[in-house]
Chains A and B, each alone.
Chain A
Amino acid sequence: MNALVVAPVALPLVAAAVLLLAPRSVLLARALGIGTTGLVVVAAAVLLARTLTGEVPVVQVGGWPAGIAVVLALDAFGALLLLLTSAVTVLGLVYAIGTGEDRERTFTSLVLVMSAGVSGALSTADLFNLFVFVEVVLIPSYVLLTLAGRRQRIAGARLYVSVNLLASTLFLAGVGLLYGITGTVQLGELAGAATASTPAALAAALVLLAMGVKSAVVPLHSWLPGSYSVAGPAVTVLFSGLLTKVGLYALFRLYSVLFDGDRRFLWVLLALAVLTMVVGVLSAVGAKAVRPVLTAHMVSQIGYVLVGLGLSTVAGLGAATFFLVQYVLVKAALFMVGGAVEVRYGTDVLARLGGGLVHRERWLAVAFAGSALALVGIPPTSGFVAKLQLATAAAADGPWWVLVAVVAVSAVTLVSMLKLWNGVFWGEPSALPAPPRGPAATLVGPPLLLAAVALVLGIWAEPLLAASTIAGQQLADPSAWVAAVTR
Chain B
Amino acid sequence: MSAAVAVGVLVAGGAYLVLQRGLLRVVLGFVLLGHAIVVLVLAAGGDGRGFPLPGNGAGAPADPLPQAFVLTAVVIAFAVTVYLLGLLRAGSTEPGPDDDDARGPG
Contacts and interface: CB of A to CB of B under 8 A. Distances in A.
Contacts of B104: 286-289, 292
A163 B84 CA distance: 11
Given A289-B104, A296-B106, A180 B44 contact: yes
Interface stretch (A107-115, A150-158, A243-251): A150-158
A293 B104 CA distance: 9
A169 interface: yes
B104 to A, nearest CB: 3
B94 A151 contact: yes
Contacts, number: 124
Given A151-B98, A165-B30, A289-B103, A128 B69 contact: yes
B37 interface: yes
Contacts of B44: 176-177, 179-181
Contacts of A166: 18, 30, 33
Given A161-B80, A176-B41, 15 more contacts: A139-B79, A143-B83, A149-B90, A151-B91, A154-B94, A158-B23, A158-B84, A161-B83, A172-B41, A175-B69, A177-B44, A286-B106, A288-B104, A292-B105, A352-B102
A158 B27 CA distance: 10
Interface residues of B, number: 40
B103 A287 contact: yes
A179 B66 contact: yes
A132 interface: yes
Which among A143, A166, A293 has the highest number of chain B CB atoms within 10 Å?
Answer: A166
Contact of A161 (B43, B87, B94, B98): B87
B71 to A, nearest CB: 11
A289 to B, nearest CB: 4
6 contacts: A152-B99, A162-B30, A165-B30, A166-B33, A172-B73, A175-B69
Contact of B106 (A149, A292, A351): A292
Contacts of A185: 65
Which among B66, B94, B103 has the highest number of chain A CB atoms within 10 Å?
Answer: B103
B76 interface: yes
Nearest to A291: B103
A176 B105 contact: no
A149 B26 CA distance: 21
Contacts of B62: none
Given A165-B80, A177-B40, A292 B87 contact: no
Contact of A169 (B34, B69, B99): B34
Given A155-B91, A158-B84, A284 B106 contact: yes
Contact of A146 (B72, B87, B102): B87
Contacts of B91: 151, 154-155, 158
Nearest to A151: B94
Interface in B21-36: 23, 26, 30, 33-34
Contact of A151 (B69, B76, B95): B95
Contact of B102 (A152, A296, A349): A349
A135 B87 contact: no
Given A154-B94, A289-B103, A173 B40 contact: yes
Contacts of A154: 87, 90-91, 94
A352 B102 CA distance: 9
A430 interface: no
A180 B91 CA distance: 40
Contacts of B33: 166, 169
A256 interface: no
Interface in A169-204: 169, 172-173, 175-177, 179-181, 185
Interface in A344-395: 348-349, 351-352
Given A157-B87, A176-B41, A176-B69, A139 B80 contact: yes
B41 A179 contact: yes
Contacts of A128: 69, 72
Given A175-B69, A179-B45, A288 B23 contact: no
A12 interface: no
A287 B26 CA distance: 29
A161 B105 contact: no
Contacts of B98: 151-152
A158 B80 CA distance: 11
